[in-house]
Amino acid sequence: MSRRLAYLAEIGIPAYRLRRAPVAEAPRDAVETAVDAAAATPVDDTRAEPSVPVPCFAREETPIAVARGSAAGATDDDAWSRLAAEVRDCRRCALHRGRTQTVFGVGRRDAELLVVGEAPGEEEDRQGEPFVGPAGRLLTAMLKSIGLAREEVFIANILKCRPPGNRDPRPDEADACADFLNRQIALVKPKAMLAVGRISAQRLLDTDLPVGRLRGVVHRYGDSAIPLVVTYHPAYLLRTPIAKAKSWQDLCMLLSLLRSA
C-alpha cells in the first residue's frame, strides 16, 4: 500500500484511506464490483472541481501485463524486423527531411496493453523513444499506479517522425503513418488500448469529438473490436493538474478491462 500511495503522490492524486477496514480485507467480489461500478459511471466533464478518486485495488505484487508468448515465433520476429526497417527508411511524407531519427515504439511485443500517443517531441526525436522527459515520467507513474510496469506495455505514436516545432500532426502525415501503427497493433494483439491525447483518440476512433467527450466510456477499435480507453495526454496533465483525478478514473476503467479480458 505504501508504494501505491507513493505512485499516486507522484501523479498528483490525493489518496484516501478507509478507517474502518483496510482495503486489503475487502472480499474479492466486493472489490471487483467497485471497480466495475467505477468504470461504468458516466463522468460529468462540466464540473469545475474533480471528483474524489476511485480506488483501483490493483495488486502491487503482481503486474497486470504479463508475458503471453508468441505462437508465431520466428514469423512474428521477421514481421517486426521488416516493419522496423520500413519505418527507419520511410520517406512517405515531408517530415523525414527534418527528423533526427524515427520513433518506432518500445515495449513488449506481446503486451496486454498498447498505449498510443500523438507524435514525437524534441527529446523523443533525439532519443528515438516515445514518451521521454517530464511527460514520459508522468506516463510511467500513471501506469505504475495501476500495477503496470512501463516495460510490460507497448508504447507507440500516431506519427513516427517529429513535426516541426512540435505542432499537431496533419491529416496527410497521419495517413502516411497509419499503416505502420495498424501493423504494430496487429502484431501485438493487445487485450486493451489506451489513447492518450486528442490527436491519438480522434485518429484511432475516426471522430472530431474532444477528449472530454470521448473519455469515461469503453470504445472498440477496428474490426478486431479491441477495447479502447481515452484519457488526457500527460503533457496536458502537467499543465492542468486539476484533470489528473479524471485520468485516474480512466486508469481504473482500463484496469477493469485488463482484469476481465
* Range of weakest confidence among 3-7, 121-125, 225-229, 237-241: 3-7
C-alpha cell belonging to residue 215: 473519455
Task: With cut-offs at 50, 70 and 90, classify the pLDDT of residue 27.
Answer: very low
Note the pLDDT of residue 261.
Answer: 75
Note the pLDDT of residue 15.
Answer: 59
Distance separating alpha carbons of residues 45 and 53, to the nearest angstrom = 14
Neighbours of 178 (CB within 10 A): 13
Task: With cut-offs at 50, 70 and 90, classify the pLDDT of residue 191.
Answer: very high
How many structural domains comprise the chain? Answer: 1
Q: Are 218 and 253 in contact (CB under 8 A)?
A: yes
Distance separating alpha carbons of residues 200 and 177, to the nearest angstrom = 12
From residue 25, alpha-carbon distances to 19, 82, 180, 194 in Å are 12, 50, 46, 30
Note the pLDDT of residue 50.
Answer: 37
From residue 103, alpha-carbon distances to 85, 100, 134 in Å are 12, 10, 17
Q: Are 140 and 100 in contact (CB under 8 A)?
A: no
Q: If we measure between CA atoms, which residue out of 81, 83, 70, 24 comes closest to residue 189? A: 70
Note the pLDDT of residue 130.
Answer: 97
Is this prediction's pTM over 0.75?
yes
66 vs 93, higher pLDDT = 93
Average pLDDT over residues 64-78: 61
Mean pLDDT across the chain: 82
Q: What is the pLDDT of residues 135-188, one digit of tens each?
A: 999 999 999 999 999 999 999 999 999 999 999 999 999 999 999 999 999 999
Q: If we measure between CA atoms, which residue out of 62, 56, 63, 65 comes closest to residue 26? A: 56
Which residue(s) pair with 156 in the sheet? Answer: 116
Q: Are 68 and 112 in contact (CB under 8 A)?
A: yes
Residue ranges making up the domain that contains 101: 2-260
CATH of the domain at 70: 3.40.470.10
Note the pLDDT of residue 245.
Answer: 95
40 vs 118, higher pLDDT = 118
Note the pLDDT of residue 5.
Answer: 60
Classify burial at 39, counting beta carbons within 10 Å of its beta carbon; exposed 0-12, middle 13-18, buried 19 or more. buried
178 vs 51, higher pLDDT = 178
Which residue(s) pair with 116 in the sheet? Answer: 156, 195
Is pLDDT at 74 greater than 90 in this prediction? no
Q: Are 120 and 103 in contact (CB under 8 A)?
A: yes
